[in-house]
Structure 1
Amino acid sequence: MTKPTTLSALTALLAVLTATVAAAPASAQAAPAPATITVNSAEDAVDADASDGLCRTATGTCTLRAAVMAANAQPGSTIELSAGRYRLTIPPNPDLLNGRTADPTTGDLNVVAPTTIRGAGARETVIDADHIDRVFRMGADTSLSDLTITGGVAKQREVPITDPGGGGIANSKNMTLRRVTVTGNSAGYGGGIFNIPDSHLTLIDSTVSRNTAGEAGGIRFDDTGTVVNSTIADNRVTDDWDRPGSLSGYGGGIDIRGTGLVDIRNSTITGNTATDGGGGINIAPAYLDSLPSPITDIVNLPLGHLALRNTIIAENTVSRATSDCKSVFATIESLGNNLDSGNSCRLSAEGDLPRRDPHLAPLGDNGGPTDTVALLPGSPALDTASDCPSADQRGVLRPQGPACDIGAFEYRQ
């Protein structure tokens, strides 16, 4: 007969288990639980202890940089920002400028764990890199809402390319921007946002405007993306940048270099300029548009894929000539009800309006959380869309007439 387990044996077993857990490496132990981190200082200061999950600088405050460092130790955390201007003042480490190593204590804000960042409104909460570095480097799934990202700069510093560009944001994972403005940033490529391979950007009710680059003035996609109810306007590509690579000057508003689907719906892409390629949208996977022109004329390999629905692509230029779209080795698929001020997007689906003047106002504050481009009376975009979101970029209910309007803006009397 087996003897009953004695109290001393249980005590010994408990001691062994306790010692085993204590000896386990830190990576095997559970990370701190997600937290809601409330920033209470607009200064730029580091977290006193980046491993404890507490947002606390040496003076006891919680800054944005310290909050990001604390959130990196607690995957799934949420950072809350009140109204104010959060200016980055700590320059990047000169020994790490080649982009191989992310340093959370200097330069841009490095997010390496899934994080949500919420502001008080894009007109109220501003994160400003003050031209010392880009604003964010996203190395994990992130969600940003109700804030503005500005003042970021990312220049290519060496060859071969090691720095991912992106003046406002360099994104390498899945990122969602909702009611966000990305404006006034610059880079060698991806002036506003740069999305590297294996990433995805979801842009909703947001504005990417007045960014500059040597390629991809507004947004660069190297993989998939979704743009809904958003405005891409007044971004510029110039030849003033030291941009290594086969091409520069392409994609004033959006430059697509990946082979995944970029899906754009109920959006407005206007006023963007470039020195080559598409002024509004340029799509050419893996720089295949750098091949000799006889090859691009003969071979038809649709590797890239852009889908458009209920979207305005108008009044974009290349060297002052109208150029809304350019595609090489790629398909621009119209799902209907799009407007092109020329015919470079080759729209031919039901409800498409090529060669139309959209009658647009300048980018500005038309109500709502972010700037938009208003439709003027008599615009052919009025009441000519279908299957729209329930509200426009500003939150105005759709439709305001017999049918909803093309683009991100719903006209109302």
Structure 2
Amino acid sequence: MQNKRPPREERPSQREQITMKLRIKSKARTEQTPPANKQLSGEVGILLVLLIILVLLLAAKTAEGAGTVGSGTPASCTEAALAAALAGGGSVSFNCGGSHTITLTSEKTITNNTTIDGGGQISLSGGNSTRLFNLQNGATLTLQNITLQNGFSSDDGGAIYVERLSTLTLTNSAINSSTAANGGAIALNGWGSSDPGGTLIVTDSSFNGNTSTAAAIPGGGNGGGALYITGGSTATVSGSSFSNNSSVNGGGIHILGANLTVTDSTFTGNVANNSAGGGGGGAIYVDGTKNFNGTIDIATSTFTNNQSNQLGGAIFSFPEGTGSTLIDQSLFDGNSATGSGQGGAIYHQSATSNGPLNISNSTFMNNNAHATDGTASSGGALWLLDAPVTITSSTFAGNDATTPIPLAADDWRRGFGGAIRTSDDTTIVNSTLVNNTAGFVGGAIAGPATVRNTIIANNDGDNPWDIQENCTDELTNGGNNIQFPQKTTGNWNDYECFAGQTAVNPQLGSIGDYGGPTPTVPLLASGPAIDAGSNCPATDQRGFARNGVCDIGAYEFGGSLLINSITPPWSGLNNVQDVLLTVQGAGFTPSSVVRWEGADRTTTYVSPFIVTAVLPASDLNTLGSYSVTVYDTDRSLESDSATFTVVSELYETFLPVVIRP
């Protein structure tokens, strides 16, 4: 922890000094006892003058310290000019005559609310010798349109250190090539899992080539190539990228007793290299959430080619307590766990057997677990232990749990669980597991699971007896599953996931982009999975609505467009004007168009579940009920209609707020 400055000498504030002067003036004039009307008039005048002075003083106080760095030339943009502009807080901008880098020789301590805007032209460098900012005393620092690079600290936070209770906001900015013990780019500290910690908000920003140098601790700990978030803190990341960052745990992000939300972000080529064992997470490492009952929430994000030499090529998740990990609409492609070779994409373990993992609408493809330490490779995509796990509407294809070390054909260490090494409490619903490989047994699944409406087909367990190719255990059959192929000789249970169930070819296409945020494996026309499911989720993996009797697997053949609601649903002739219509439903793509009575309207795609359209005033100047549909031009699909009503008069009603005593 950094030492805080001693408190300032107590003295009357400007406001208090003005109040004292008012009292003195008032007393003096009372003693003179002028006529009442003159006295009142004079005091009003004095009060007005003093009020003006007070306003000017407060305005000056607000502006104190804020300013522009530079006078239009690169030479004018110096470290000293930046330090002067930062004094006292406020808003800081730059006038350097174009793109410019300012190299700092010492960190700048921020104790007042400050905003720094680089205008997309300014870089601040630590010269590989100093941290850039130290945020303290509960202050807020906002950095926007700026690049920070080459920061360094032998402690935590190479570019920025954030003390507990403080808030850092990073928008449209980059932090590159910075180094620290923990948190090569940023360290956000608190005093424990139940502490308020600090707050980090990252939007549309990038972290590239940052490094954490702290040594590995046996069993995990230390790390965060880019971000180190600890002690009850909260981090929110959206629209951002993490590439080529490295540490012993959490090449991109290290979470210790804190909460994390990630949306619309990418993690590429991050590395966790842990020589002590027990950790990992090439992109993200989690050791406990806030209060041990918090959340790690990851949605609409992509993890590609991240690597750990221990556990979890992309994510290591150890939530402690009842903390939960949520993965939705995300892609894990080409991630790798070597060394211990467990969990090519995700390693999830609950310390108390009640820290859940929920995966939905996501794809795991080409991930691998390759043990090189003499143990068995396992869980090409997922490695699960002692945790309730639910996998819904997700695809596993081309994942691999094989051991690169030469071993005899009958050596079990060759690998198992090409897609998933399950936990005892694993449930799989409406998912597709195809073309995964294990070095020995269980090309798709190793271990128990309850499975419903799922396709398990063409997975390979490479052993001399051709047994347990798809699964190592007989799974609990929740109904409406497909397995393929079928062993014609030997013990049925040695080969199949669902004993006694006839195998059928599901007739699948190749994995690819068939709409939605992640790749899927399509059903071919007239295949046995079509209209063969029951009790399915309302939408398939892509967000397309299920049709009538739902299909087996993550993909709904001919999945349709669905409108759940429109906002607003009406307008009035007393106020005819253009209206922005929001349509909520499922199955929308960038080629979706909102139609008014069959005519296209200008449409904006927001997500698979939301589109908006402008209804011109000319649509809304006649009484009646009108049909609103969504049409997909690429798929020639149209939703059922929703009704928009134009009434004579429409008024807003404001109800009184009643507050109970």
Q: Same fold (TM over 0.5)?
A: yes
Q: 1:192 and 2:312 equivalent?
A: no
The answer to whether residue 230 in structure 2 is matched with residue 90 in structure 1 is no
Superposed CA deviations along residues 215-242 of structure 1, whole A, max 9, x for unmatched, are: 2101011122110011111101221169
2: CA distance between counterparts of 1:319 and 1:142? 36
- Asked if 1:129 is matched to 2:269, the reply is yes
Q: Is the 8 A contact 1:42 1:87 kept in 2?
A: no
Q: Deviations over 1:89-113 (max 9, x none)?
A: 2345373275532223552211124
1:280 shift after superposition: 0.5
1:309 is displaced (CA, Å) by: 0.4
Q: CA deviation at 1:197?
A: 3.7
Alignment of 1:137-216 (within 5 A): 137-139=285-287, 140=289, 141-156=295-310, 165-173=311-319, 174-187=324-337, 188-198=341-351, 199-214=355-370, 215-216=378-379
Q: Which residue among 420, 424, 445 is the counterpart of 1:254?
A: 420
Q: Distance in 2 between matches of 1:168 and 1:386?
A: 33
Report the CA distance shift for 1:178/1:393 in structure 2 as closer, same or farther (over 3 A).
same
Which of 367, 381, 404 is matched with 1:218 structurally? 381
Change (3 A) 1:397 1:79: farther
Superposed displacement of residue 42, structure 1 = 8.8
Letter matched to residue 376 of structure 1: L
CA distance in 2, matches of 1:306, 1:76: 40
* Deviates most, 355-364 or 317-326: 317-326
SS at structure 1 position matched to 2:215: helix
| Cα offsets for 1:46-85 (capped at 9, x unmatched) | 452232443379xx95759689744878569685544x8x
DSSP-derived class of the 1:374 partner: coil
TM-score by length of structure 2 reads: 0.45
Amino acid at match of 1:267: S
- 1:405, distance to aligned residue in structure 2 (A): 0.5
TM-aligned CA deviation for residue 155 of structure 1: 1.4
- 1:374 alignment partner AA: P
Secondary structure at the residue paired with 1:325?
Answer: coil
- 2:516 aligns to what SS in structure 1? coil
TM-aligned CA deviation for residue 378 of structure 1: 2.1
- CA–CA distance in structure 2, aligned partners of residues 342 and 150 of structure 1: 31
- Tell me if structure 1 keeps the 8 A contact 2:285–2:316: yes
Once residues 484 and 189 of structure 2 are traced to their aligned partners in structure 1, the CA distance between those partners, rounded to angstroms, is 45
1:325 aligns with 2:471: yes
In 2, are the aligned partners of 1:89 and 1:129 still within 8 Å (CA)? Answer: no
Query: What's 1:371 paired with?
Result: 519
Give distance in 1, aligned partners of 2:336 and 2:168. Answer: 30
Q: Between the two proteins, what is the percent identity of the paired residues?
A: 26
Q: Distance in 2 between the 1:39 and 1:212 partners?
A: 38
Instruction: Report how many aligned residue pairs link the two structures.
Output: 333
Q: For residue 326 of structure 2, what is the amino acid of its counterpart?
A: T
TM-aligned CA deviation for residue 369 of structure 1:
0.5
Q: Which residue of 2 aligns with 1:55?
A: 168
Distance change (3 Å), C-alpha of 1:183 and 1:71: farther
Q: Which residue of 2 aligns with 1:306?
A: 449
Question: 2:498 aligned to 347, 356, 365, which one?
Answer: 347
Which residue of the partner structure matches residue 254 of structure 2? 110
Match of 1:119 among 263, 277, 282: 263
Is residue 2:479 matched to residue 1:336? yes
Task: Give the CA deviation at 1:345.
Answer: 3.8
CA contact (8 A) 2:168 2:200 kept: no
Q: Distance in 2 between matches of 1:76 and 1:362?
A: 46
With over 3 angstroms needed to count, the CA separation of the structure-2 counterparts of 1:77 and 1:56, relative to structure 1, is closer
Within 5 Å, which residues of 2 pair with 1:228-243? 228-240=392-404
Alpha-carbon separation, structure 2, partners of 1:41 and 1:74: 28
Structure 1's unaligned 5+ residue stretches are 1-31, 157-164, 284-304
Contact 1:79–1:115 (Cα < 8 Å) also in 2: no
Aligned to 1:17: none
Unaligned runs of 5+ in 2: 1-136, 152-156, 177-182, 226-245, 274-281, 290-294, 371-377, 487-494, 560-661
Amino acid paired to 2:557: Y
Q: Paired residue for 2:553?
A: 407
Alpha-carbon distance in structure 2 between the residues aligned to 1:359 and 1:42: 51
In 2, Cα distance between the equivalents of 1:74 and 1:246? Answer: 48
Change beyond 3 A, Cα 1:40–1:110 = farther
Among residues 354, 377, 382, which one is paired with 2:530 in the alignment?
382
The structure number with the bigger radius of gyration is 2
| Alpha-carbon distance between aligned partners in 1 of 2:477 and 2:145, rounded to the nearest angstrom | 47
Task: Please say if residues 184 and 211 of structure 2, whose CA atoms lie closer than 8 Å, have aligned partners that are also in contact.
Answer: no
Q: Distance in 2 between matches of 1:56 and 1:406?
A: 44
Letter aligned with residue 233 of structure 1: A
Corresponding residue for residue 128 of structure 2: none
- How big is the shift at 1:377? 1.2
- CA distance in structure 2 between the aligned counterparts of 1:377 and 1:197, rounded to whole angstroms: 42
Q: TM-score, normalised by structure 1?
A: 0.70
Match of 1:100?
A: 220
* Deviations 1:141-164, CA, capped at 9 Å, x for gaps: 3111111112221114xxxxxxxx
Q: What does the per-residue CA deviation read over 1:280-332, in whole Å, with 9 as the maximum and x for residues that have no partner?
A: 0011xxxxxxxxxxxxxxxxxxxxx41000011111112396821112xxx62
Give the letter aligned to residue 347 of structure 1: F
Partner secondary structure for residue 361 of structure 1: coil
